[in-house]
Structure 1
């Protein structure tokens, strides 16, 4: 399969949910998501690959090479953020499909029999924009989230995951494939590779992530008739919480912690009513769990003071806590070997963002690779990666897949814990 064909397919998939500024709006289990899923199924069917859809909407394209053997799985996700970019997730799925076909063609041409079968996945709801939490499909697959609970999750309109998947025809019942390994390639969503002029990143660990579910409860009243001293305005208090979350990073070294409030809902959301309730989610991330714990403690104390000052109630609950995951050394060395053979620059790099590979790294030997992001931007329409870098990544993923179906990483650890230091007892 040629580079030209890959690029044509990639840019065609980017038309599903295309926005006016070269982005995509393809949130999980929407009609636009269905278009990309139908295309994925069609790509597999044209090549005679079996397609399965499991009970949380994950899609698998299976290439049977060795009867009864488990699969090396490649892929990522096709859903996007609202007004998101063309590359986040979708690149990894398209790269997986094309890399898998190249491996299958090479095996056939050489008459070789590998150790494992090969498959490609489109994970459900990696983004978490419509249904929280994110990384849902792969986490259910890995046993980290309960399927029934995730199917019952509702979006802001009150539609459940099960209802949404059923509406687009992708609430499956198929058996999940048995895996022997997983590999994913993704845009970096940062500027390190671009800044250093390096084509490939070998991801060695993920940052610690902690979310806080925050409910600010005030009292509804008339904006024109209620004296300022008599108001219990949930929105005013919530705005101070937002600023606290933003400002807590200043208590730590530069770049040590990132924080944000990305979602906020307001009740009753009327122009002439003082808000009675605001719900928001704060996101804290760092390479150190201790830093996140200190930021959390600082925020809880300051939020309690805001509640007291405004004579309202603020409920804060921990949500979607994800520990640091270390990828196996064997996978890092494999990526470096592949890069050297292809003449590509490579460096080890951490991921601040979550990915499906973080969940998969808990259950099978996992490789995670990055290619550069122009200006480091992501989750927006301006997200961009060059065709040249995308093609280099496809070649690298194909070589990694080739090594893995032939047994590389079969004995690699899968617990995601920090590797032992050299010389340790």
Structure 2
């Protein structure tokens, strides 16, 4: 029995979903863990079976080059496509991984079309698994693509540590995936002539509107706050209530402020959260002396984020006065709105129209590797539906039918991109933008 390209993709997707699988249907594959290594090894195996050269750069990004240009070499321009294989703790099996698997299979289909003479390519293809997109183990997120694009310093990111004190450098070395920027198989940034990424939406718009595809035209403004609440360690039983300086009590006030702030703006214009909390000394019989929080503010309008941030800082002084604690907040990981080239959006619409598929222009509230890549090359961001809009969760789900629709659409986009469809197109980081 002949296996169709669609069957091959679904088989591989569901096979990779077994790596780090959780009991409730999700995956646990945080960056540079043994489970992350297994998915990376699978990626390398897929590429080697097809004779594609692989390479790893100095921040752990993994590349596979698909030769399409006759007589081409390392200096040949490339179109890049991919996403990430790492997950959140108890995350979903679709987030990121779908984009990598779809890119591998789409690249194989484009290569087949070139071999059969159905199309002539101006550029090679490169499939990429970006390191630490999630940022769950090593903040900030979107690390690998941001370093590649020159938005973050590689040496600084290599020294970032997880909650156990293990650095990015040590973690990558432990799984044998710390390479070098000039390693064979690593495409120089200057050779990348375009980037395409397909991803589950992680929201409700496509499902609500009954559409199979979304063409992302822009991203929301985002900023994080690194917050320390400082008190004094003491005995939970022997210390009088009036004498306590409980950092966790202050942190509770701070967390509630991030809930309250959204109520001060029009509905659905601002989202906020406290996503990580570290408590010290975290003993059952000790009043806590320090709480570290990582908080997140996002809106389409940058002024909303800035106003929210200013209000929060003012409220933190009131928390200090009420509790006798110290609240120290620092801005980090501030990301402006990014606008994808309109030519890339229209390209997706043309591909959808050719296939008789519905598509809608939309924004991304979440960050993606394409946001970073869009600063160095014309980039395309494609969405497929997410059931109930759920993501970063074990019950995250997208149907096989929707995944296959996305795959065929990605093939159509890459067909045109390797033929120069986005040549000369301005992007946010270009001189003509």
Q: TM-score, normalised by structure 2?
A: 0.95
Listed one character per residue, the Cα deviations across residues 337-382 of structure 1 (whole Å, up to 9, x for unaligned) are 0000011110001000000000000000000000000000000000
Is 2:48 aligned against 1:45? yes
Q: Is the 8 A contact 1:325 1:416 kept in 2?
A: no
Q: Tell me the equivalent position of 2:264.
A: 251
Distance 2:318 2:119 in 1: 68
Task: Report matched runs for 1:194-213 at 5 Å.
Answer: 194-213=207-226
TM-superposed deviation, 1:392: 0.4
Partner residue of 1:157 out of 160, 164, 175: 164
Distance 1:138 1:410 in 2: 22
Q: Tell me the equivalent position of 1:105.
A: 112
Q: Tell me the equivalent position of 1:85.
A: 92
Residue 293 of structure 2: SS of its match in structure 1? strand
Q: Tell me the equivalent position of 2:14.
A: 11
Distance 1:331 1:112 in 2: 20
Q: Is the 8 A contact 1:182 1:360 kept in 2?
A: yes
- Following TM superposition, where does structure 1 have runs of at least 4 consecutive aligned residues deviating by more than 4 angstroms? none
Distance 1:343 1:84 in 2: 33
Distance 1:58 1:31 in 2: 16
Listed one character per residue, the Cα deviations across residues 302-339 of structure 1 (whole Å, up to 9, x for unaligned) are 01110121111111000110000000000000000000
Q: Tell me the equivalent position of 2:327.
A: 314
Task: Report matched runs for 1:212-227 at 5 Å.
Answer: 212-227=225-240
Q: Tell me the equivalent position of 1:29.
A: 32
Is 2:281 aligned against 1:274? no
Q: Is the 8 A contact 1:328 1:416 kept in 2?
A: no
Partner residue of 1:138 out of 120, 139, 145: 145
Q: Tell me the equivalent position of 1:96.
A: 103
* 112 and 340 in structure 1: CA distance in 2 versus 1, 3 angstrom threshold: closer
Q: Tell me the equivalent position of 1:423.
A: none
Task: Report matched runs for 1:314-393 at 5 Å.
Answer: 314-393=327-406
The answer for unaligned runs of 5 or more in structure 2 is: none
Listed one character per residue, the Cα deviations across residues 174-233 of structure 1 (whole Å, up to 9, x for unaligned) are 253121100000000000000000000000000000100000000111110111111111
Distance 1:82 1:202 in 2: 28
Distance 2:118 2:199 in 1: 31
Distance 2:167 2:55 in 1: 22
Partner residue of 1:193 out of 181, 206, 218: 206
Distance 1:255 1:370 in 2: 20
TM-superposed deviation, 1:113: 3.1
Is 2:177 aligned against 1:170? yes
Residue 107 of structure 1: SS of its match in structure 2? helix
How big is the alpha-carbon RMSD for the aligned residues of Structure 1 and Structure 2? 1.2
Q: Is the 8 A contact 1:25 1:84 kept in 2?
A: yes
Q: Tell me the equivalent position of 1:303.
A: 316
Listed one character per residue, the Cα deviations across residues 27-59 of structure 1 (whole Å, up to 9, x for unaligned) are 000000000000000000000000000010000
Distance 1:29 1:383 in 2: 22
